[in-house]
A and B are shown apart, each in its own frame.
Chain A
Amino acid sequence: MPRVGWLRIIALASLMAAVVGLQVVQAAHPPLPLPTDSGNMLYVRSPAFMKRAALSYDALVADIYWIRTVQHYGSTKLANDKKKQYDLLYPFLDLTTSLDPSFDIAYQFGAIFLAEPFPSGAGRPDQAIALLQKGLRMRPADWQLAQELGFVYYWWLVDNQSAGEWFNRAADMPGSPNWLRPLAAVTLAEGGNTATSRKLWTQVAETSEADWLRRQARFRLAQLDAMDEIDILTRAVQTYRARVGMLPHNWLELVRVGLLRGIPVDPDRHMLELNPETGKVTLAPDSPLNPLPDSEHRL
């Protein structure tokens, strides 16, 4: 090989060795600090402008905003930061549904993302209602949107009257299932108890077309089972106290006196916890059914 050829090979090998060496040095250095702001940024907030800018690709741009919505919701929900915010959720959903007014999943899931209490969701049932009402203006005969509105009033605003009225309106719409009318009647007459909640979630689990929503409904039903179980166990603890004169230290003591057949577990097979000082029964901290709804919110 001529001398120039060898020199070229040596130069190439030297440069590659230098690149690898520098990469090793760089890897040993601490990375640059992350920016201190939340990084939540939305350059365009005007649906009217974006609809024009998208030309004939508005449905595709709506898909992109929907994917960004899901990512924003998912990453914020999973973040451990106590200052986390779902501040872009509504603008994203507004853009998505303005660009593609027939994007029914964006209305349905979006309302759930918005209405769920913080930190699982944005805790903004008012925005969920605004989104669903926008959907109903676009699709006035969509019973699922009216039913969703009923759900928001029932679960997150604890307003049985409005919930029942929306279930009734949904029942009036073409193609609505026949269980909606009795549901409206039950909500108006006996709303507020867990039996009504169980009926609502059972209907969603059995009839929803969206897989994600069915999973959500099954999760809520498991939470309801856990709450019922906690009620039964709390009564057993009180019975033990009445018989023995003191609170039990653990579950085995209740088993020994015949109040329990075995160690109680929640529907997700996690052992339930007993506080020996207060007698309070709770889910295990690592149970995926946490957090159970508090007194302000229903299940």
Chain B
Amino acid sequence: MRTIGLVAISVFRESVRDKILYSLVIFAVLMISTSYLIGQLTAGQDVKIIKDLGLASISIFGLLIAVFMGIGLVWKEMEKRSIYALLSKPIRRGEFVVGKYVGLVLTLFINLGLMTVAFYAVLAYMDLTTSADIRASWAAPATDIQMLRAVALIMVELMLVTAIALFFSTFSTPFLSAMLTIGLWVIGHFNDDLRNVGGYVKSSVAASIGKALYYVLPNFAAFDAKAQVVHAQAVPASYLVLTGVYGLVYVAFVLLGAVTIFSRRDFI
């Protein structure tokens, strides 16, 4: 456990040295600029648009960090040949992979936390500078705490994306790993179509394959509650728990796969 922690902290330090936090500055500038511009571009609903844009930005920036850092976690060590020095130390391959994963999840967690603070700051400013009658027309308060439920689901989604990126990086090049991870993420948004493929095709075999894929592939659409929280629609705690557990179990499955493949790799 201590070894995993040490690897995780080293990954986190490396991430900070990679100037990943610059993405936060871009995010904050984007958010603040948008809040001023948006009033000029739309008729009403500016707070809804800022919420949509803010949550989408948190999700997209997080996805980029998860994919492009996740694919380099193991590959970089092999490219720099530091893997030989690392594996010669009293560290198991499984601890190495899990430590790398935990380090990146820690980076993601802090990134998401800071982005969420910036997001709420912009919304609080909107709230302060808007008249009471316009505020009364909003579906939910500008700084509605329920939006944290959508952010929590985004975090679980990104944890799963990171695990998938790490999995591919244990046996593939960074470019191919990125393509495969993004591909799986896109397919994961079409899960409902896979389930209903029997309605589009006549072949019962294709329908069965579609249904099987629906259960096996990660259902990324389930982690999306952005529109619901913006419109002040309920995201029940039971849904949050069920989806969270689903994500964590899938993460464990993918990490186990990554550890298995990495343990069998021959570096000599």
Contact residues of A with B, CB < 8 Å? 52, 55-60, 62-63, 66-67, 70-71, 100, 102-103, 105, 109, 209-212
Contact = CB atoms under 8 A, between A and B. Distances in A.
B226 A109 contact: no
Interface of B: 41-45, 48-49, 52-53, 56, 59-60, 133-134, 136-137, 139, 186, 189-190, 193, 220-221, 223-224, 226-227, 230-231, 233
B38 to A, nearest CB: 8
A63 B44 contact: no
A139 to B, nearest CB: 10
Contact of A100 (B43, B189, B223, B227): B227
B59 A63 contact: no
B73 to A, nearest CB: 25
A211 B134 contact: yes
A62 B45 CA distance: 12
Contacts of A55: 186, 189
Contact of A59 (B42, B133, B221, B226): B226
B233 A102 contact: yes
Nearest to B56: A60
Contact of B44 (A71, A102, A212): A212
Given A56-B226, A60-B52, A66-B49, 14 more contacts: A55-B189, A57-B226, A59-B52, A59-B56, A63-B45, A63-B53, A66-B45, A67-B42, A102-B231, A103-B48, A105-B43, A209-B137, A211-B44, A212-B43
Contacts of A209: 133, 136-137
Nearest to A210: B44
Nearest to A60: B56
Contacts of B220: 56
A63 B227 CA distance: 11
A109 B42 CA distance: 11
A60 B231 CA distance: 13
Contacts, number: 63
Nearest to B53: A60
B31 to A, nearest CB: 13
Per DSSP, chain A at the interface is helix
A63 B49 contact: yes
A105 B52 contact: no
A56 B44 contact: no
B56 to A, nearest CB: 4
A62 B190 CA distance: 19
Nearest to A57: B56
Contacts of A70: 41-43
A109 B190 contact: no
B52 A71 contact: no
Interface centre among B43, B49, B133, B220 (most CB of A within 10 A): B43
Contacts of B193: 52
A119 B45 CA distance: 25
Contacts of B221: 56
19 contacts: A52-B190, A56-B59, A57-B56, A57-B59, A59-B230, A60-B52, A60-B53, A63-B42, A63-B48, A63-B53, A66-B42, A66-B49, A67-B42, A70-B41, A102-B139, A109-B44, A210-B44, A210-B137, A211-B134
Contacts of A210: 44, 137
A25 B111 CA distance: 50
A275 B48 CA distance: 50
Contacts of A60: 52-53, 56
A280 B238 CA distance: 71
A209 B45 CA distance: 11
A110 to B, nearest CB: 10
Contacts of A52: 190, 193
B43 A56 contact: no
B5 to A, nearest CB: 33
Contacts of B233: 102
B227 A59 contact: yes
B227 A102 contact: yes
A66 B45 CA distance: 10
A236 B262 CA distance: 96
